[in-house]
Amino acid sequence: MNIYKALIGEHWKESSSGRTISSSNPFNQEVWASIPSLTKEDVAEAVEAAHLAFHDWKKTNGLERATLMHRLADLIEAEADHLAQVETTDNGKLFKETKNQILFSARNYRYFAGYADKLLGDFIPMDNREMIDYTIMEPVGPVALITAWNSPLSLLANKLAPALATGNTVVIKPSEQASISTLEFAKLTIQAGFPSGVINVITGDGAAGDALIRHPLIAKVSFTGGSQTARAITKAVSDKLIPVTLELGGKSPNIIFADADLEDALTGAIAGIFGATGQTCIAGSRLLVERSIVEIVKERLIRKAATIQLGDPFDPATDMGPVANKLQLKKIVSMITEAKEEGAELLYGGELAKEAGLHGYFIKPTIFFTENPEINIACEEVFGPVLTIIPFNDPEEALSIANRSPYGLAAGIWTRDIKKAHRLAAEIEAGNVWINTYRASAAGAPFGGTKQSGYGRERSWHALYEYTHIKNVMVNLSTKKRDPFSMQTK
């Protein structure tokens, strides 16, 4: 069994309590590694290391930070196979997708490295020509970066890349369900030459995360995960009045109009919900279909779902791997049972996959149909391979159903009518809208949600503002005397 330690400052450390957490391979349920379950005191040591390193790191010039980030990206690309192997073993996601995401994370480090020496302030024209005014972008301080188990290194890059580029130090807390790839990544940060304490990685359960966000030296929290944990985080840090970025779940509508290229739309529907076994925050779990084509969509989706190959995530022929952990599998099964009880029509799947060779947490791709967009399966995030088809009659009804959700992370629109697509995109309550594609990413495209899908933005230049304060500097060039008892406004 592989035994891992946390990175605190320049040292690899076990928990001071001696406690560990075992990691199981979701494909075969075998325990293959362990991580330390850190105590509150261990977490405090990591935060203090980040705080100590911040004094010098914030003063490094942008070229130096960019050089280190490019070097890190080089190492990620060189070790992509190894990192993907570890992450797939830990969470069951297909190796081919995991590797692609890890290479994309390298692209994100390069993207933000390009901004490290271009953190430009503004020169502000003043009413009084004898006054000048300018702004400076400053790092916020030690930042807590908390990631989810479905895509640890990809999610981390969304946070760590802008945090480093803007001069922050970090304490990273991956999910205890999938921490190993982050610990392997931490080794690369040392090889890249980042100073001690700039990047720290702690591991453990929710108690470790709670100790991290509550520490008085943490200046910001960036979290990816579920809404319940997000609410706990915002409450916990409210007394400190520190900024928080939240990238949460969704119940995203994927809308197919009758005039769409149907084959493309169906491919997008499959990618949107069965890619990554549906364990993605942007999953297009609500498939809204124009009524005139709903029967043909149902028929063709059932045929496509029947061809999805479940199996070993390392096998190139596999289309869908296991659910990442036992707790998540239990939740998916429970929501499928509830959907049946609420009257949703089961079109395909809806049960555990027990074919020969499948010994892990496998469930069949599942498709429901309902006329009622208010039932739970059509409203709440499943975070699994469960699709709900809902018919609509016209664009207005499609928009009404789409916006009825408390979530607002993503949406897809499939139509040949570009005017209709743009009008709908403008009205959909979501942070990300795809037109004639789905589940596509780019380093330069901002990502984030609205409503209960969170706030703040990751990726693109917008993310730079999540990790900086804007300082305003005003300079008086005048030699005139002023009234000390009146504010100067000109």
79 in catalytic set: no
End-to-end CA distance of the chain: 70
Distances (CA, A) of 162 to 110, 166, 250, 308, 460: 10, 6, 24, 37, 9
Token pair recorded at residue 97: 């997708």
The answer to whether the beta carbons of residues 222 and 159 sit under 8 Å apart is yes
* Residue linked to tokens 């790839």: 181
The answer to whether the beta carbons of residues 407 and 451 sit under 8 Å apart is yes
Alpha-carbon span 400 to 325, nearest angstrom? 35
The backbone region for 393, taken as left when phi is positive above 0, alpha when psi lies in -120 to 50, beta otherwise, is: alpha
Catalytically annotated residue among 87, 184, 247, 466? 247
Count of residues in the chain: 490
Token pair recorded at residue 398: 């499609």
Catalytically annotated residue among 45, 79, 176, 281? 281
379 in catalytic set: no
Cβ contacts of 195-198, under 8 Å, gap ≥ 24: 195/53, 195/56, 195/57, 196/9, 196/10, 196/49, 196/53, 197/9, 197/10, 197/49, 197/50, 197/52, 197/53, 197/169, 198/50, 198/53, 198/57, 198/164, 198/169, 198/170
Query: Hey, is 273 helix, strand or coil?
Result: helix
Alpha-carbon span 275 to 278, nearest angstrom? 6
Give the burial class of 454: count Cβ atoms within 10 A of its Cβ; 0-12 exposed, 13-18 middle, 19 or more buried: buried
Q: Report which residue type is found at 113.
A: A
Alpha-carbon span 282 to 434, nearest angstrom? 11
The answer to whether the beta carbons of residues 325 and 149 sit under 8 Å apart is yes
Within 10 Å of residue 232's Cβ, how many Cβ atoms?
Answer: 16
Within 10 Å of residue 485's Cβ, how many Cβ atoms?
Answer: 5
Alpha-carbon span 117 to 343, nearest angstrom? 58
Tell me which residues are annotated as active site. 247, 281
